[in-house]
A and B are shown apart, each in its own frame.
Chain A
């Protein structure tokens, strides 16, 4: 668990476990969110918003009438769908005053289980309730409370409304919480139950008939005569009668002063509308409704995103929030961070293990598939190879290559991600360290994790450069580094001349090894006093993002690819498969 957030005050209702089966794009999802703020990250189209919509449907304070076949996974209506939550409810949330008594389940920390007489040495778990909504094969919704004996009672509107739900959706037109729609934040705040009927009778007094033109009045009179002739109810008049669709109250919304004119709050910008809805909800004393925020950045500048997240983090409400905003991700320091991977599974991102990475490269957690590369060279190399794999820019496919910041740090990040059951890519060396930990990662990630069979990227590539292509290999295509590379070789040989032929002759059979040492910035024995100078050699060769790209390009310009293809192609295809593309037989040269 990633309970970074301090436990909220117990009275707030909270979802302890959520199970979604066959709802819209989600085939099957099981999740145990935290009590505080849950930030859900992931690339586009992975189902983040669907998770929020599932919660909204389950706790809907009204009976939604419209279900359509896309609500059912793969439009398979016969199979139905189901959204179930294990809820912790404050005493007094209305569960105890339902017509039929509802019995609590015991929360084990993992699931809701039937309380038994067995002691097992552990204290009894806290009470939770199981509620669900099912989409039936008749396109109807069944709201149910599941009892410990397996039977199901109704999960009525009144109870859903008492639990409370505030929804700041990504939909620009959605302003229900600013209106007197049943169950909205404003409705809950005012809680004036008689208002609807009083308004209806007030409106019915309006004399519509006198507003009519003379022709229209005549037409109405003629209709009345016709009614009499047909023995239908007569004495016809016009009045406001309400409708089958939106209730009259839903046409009433908050207005506010803008330059001396009262204007509907709904006409303000999206950001203000969302903050207003939250402020209304916050006004309900002792009320901590479950809060859904889709795309927190919508309509909000980075500073207002931070303010909003700060506010949510200090409230006692359980919050579910999606975002694509790096500013929001870095502001969510006290939240639990979750990631929905490309397979649609949701898992925790361990706050402490990924904290640094979240600050330095938040985009890694906003992509569909992130590949964590060990260092700058690997970042450049992997990006270049994958671009050839796709034949187009990586962003277009929601793939993001991230710099893991060294061998140990990369291993840590990959383990943290894999612990959440998430599928990520990795690209790393074999430094001969932590064989068991790497083997465990391989077992989880398969070919999405690339590691050189032994040693590092420079060593593996330099080893396959044919003798007659070594000079071309040293050549910097940008023309800048060729000289300093030859100089680094000359320094290591202790000579001043830096002509390729001279260097090669002087090094003899050790020439290739010399190139490797220079490229890695190895410190020769006896040169400890010039440590910094020798280590700096690496940067003149390939130890940079550009250097990694250069290595990737040289695989093809020097036709080294066929030799390395058996190692690298399975990784390229694993990335293609992960984002839903077919495998390819080879990369384009």
Chain B
């Protein structure tokens, strides 16, 4: 895809846009550019999901000045946030992030349960989709099946999804936990 066509596709009304490009093709630049445009419209709220705190900082730098209309967080922190709100129903302690850090594969267990909760109760994803009508998923190739399920749950409830992925990079290759969503074929999203 050319820069122009990516630029246009991101801003289209398409519910889902997948931007596939190897590293160094200016994905983050395109994403941040788009985020700034979305947030400039006062009626919009935008959620940017990354995988690392470093990536959060890059987006924060690029969208500075748009106040509370842009929320940037790692996908793990959003999952932990949901799990904290519903910890009584998930059988988790009140302080989910601490538990997740201290437990082997903690975050993966939390993601597994949250994915199941979102499947059972679409209203939770609906509340998120209403709060964030636009969601940018950065470095999506790094998502586990359960993390991907969170994005798709919001998409199913009407959020517009903008997915950036690098087909050659994939950091996480471990076997999914029992009961987890299988690693997804994100490349098939738009087919």
Which residues of A come within 8 Å of B, CB atoms?
Answer: 91-92, 95-97, 99, 101-104, 106, 114-117, 119, 124, 126-127, 147-150
Contact = CB atoms under 8 A, between A and B. Distances in A.
B84 interface: yes
A116 B90 CA distance: 6
Given A99-B68, A101-B131, A117-B90, A126 B84 contact: no
Contacts of B89: 114-117, 148
B123 interface: yes
Chain A CB count within 10 A is highest, among B81, B87, B127, for: B127
Interface size class of B (residues with CB under 8 A): 20 to 34
A82 to B, nearest CB: 21
Contacts of B191: none
Q: Is the contact region of chain A dominated by helix, strand, or loop, or is it mixed?
A: loop
B182 interface: no
B131 A149 contact: no
Given A148-B89, A149-B84, A149-B88, A103 B120 contact: no
B123 A96 contact: no
B130 A127 contact: no
B26 to A, nearest CB: 32
A115 B124 contact: yes
Contact of A103 (B45, B68, B86, B122): B86
B117 A115 contact: yes
Among B45, B113, B124, find the residue whose CB has the most chain A CB atoms closer than 10 A.
B124
B123 A124 contact: yes
A372 to B, nearest CB: 44
A96 B130 contact: yes
Interface string B75-98: 000000110111111100010000
A148 B86 contact: yes
A127 B86 CA distance: 13
Nearest to B86: A148
Contacts of A91: 126, 130
Contact of B86 (A95, A99, A149): A149
10 closest Cβ contacts across the A-B interface?
A127-B123, A116-B89, A96-B130, A114-B89, A103-B85, A96-B131, A115-B121, A114-B88, A124-B121, A115-B89
Contacts of B87: 149
B130 A115 contact: no
A101 B78 CA distance: 11
B85 A148 contact: yes
Contacts of B85: 101, 103, 147-149
Contacts of B60: none
30 contacts: A91-B126, A91-B130, A96-B127, A101-B85, A101-B131, A103-B85, A103-B124, A104-B127, A106-B121, A114-B86, A115-B89, A115-B121, A116-B89, A116-B117, A117-B116, A117-B117, A124-B120, A124-B123, A127-B123, A127-B126, A147-B85, A148-B85, A148-B86, A148-B88, A149-B85, A149-B86, A149-B87, A149-B88, A149-B94, A150-B88
Contacts of B81: 101
Interface string B112-140: 01001100111110111011000000000
B49 to A, nearest CB: 15
B123 A126 contact: yes
Contact of B130 (A92, A99, A103): A92
A147 B130 CA distance: 17
Nearest to B90: A117
Nearest to A106: B121
Contacts of A124: 120-123
Nearest to A98: B131
Contacts of A101: 81, 85, 127-128, 131
A124 B128 CA distance: 17
Contacts of B127: 95-96, 101-104, 127
Contact of A97 (B45, B116, B117): B45
Contacts of B68: 99
A96 B126 CA distance: 10
B124 A97 contact: no
Given A96-B130, A102-B127, 8 more contacts: A97-B131, A99-B68, A101-B128, A104-B123, A114-B88, A115-B86, A117-B89, A149-B94
Contacts of A126: 123
Given A114-B86, A147-B85, A119 B120 contact: yes
Contacts of A103: 82, 85-86, 124, 127
Interface in B47-90: 68, 81-82, 84-90
Nearest to B113: A117
A91 B133 CA distance: 12
A104 B126 CA distance: 10
A92 B43 CA distance: 12
Nearest to B117: A117
A99 B68 CA distance: 8
Nearest to A91: B130
Nearest to A92: B130
A115 B82 CA distance: 12
A96 B117 CA distance: 19
A147 B85 CA distance: 7
B124 A104 contact: yes
Nearest to B123: A127
Interface string B148-164: 00000000000000000
**Which of B68, B85, B128 has most A Cβ within 10 Å?**
B85
Contacts of A97: 45, 131
A584 to B, nearest CB: 54
Of A106, A124, A149, the most chain B CB neighbours within 10 A belong to A149
A101 B130 CA distance: 11
Contacts of B124: 103-104, 115, 127
Contacts of B117: 115-117
Contacts of B128: 101
Contacts of A117: 89-90, 113, 116-117, 120
Given A97-B45, A150-B88, A115 B131 contact: no
Nearest to B118: A115
A106 B126 CA distance: 13
Contacts of B126: 91, 127
A126 B88 CA distance: 18
For B113, B116, B131, the residue with the greatest tally of chain A CB atoms inside 10 Å of its CB is B131
A97 B67 CA distance: 14
A238 B80 CA distance: 59
A102 B128 CA distance: 9
Contacts of B88: 114, 148-150
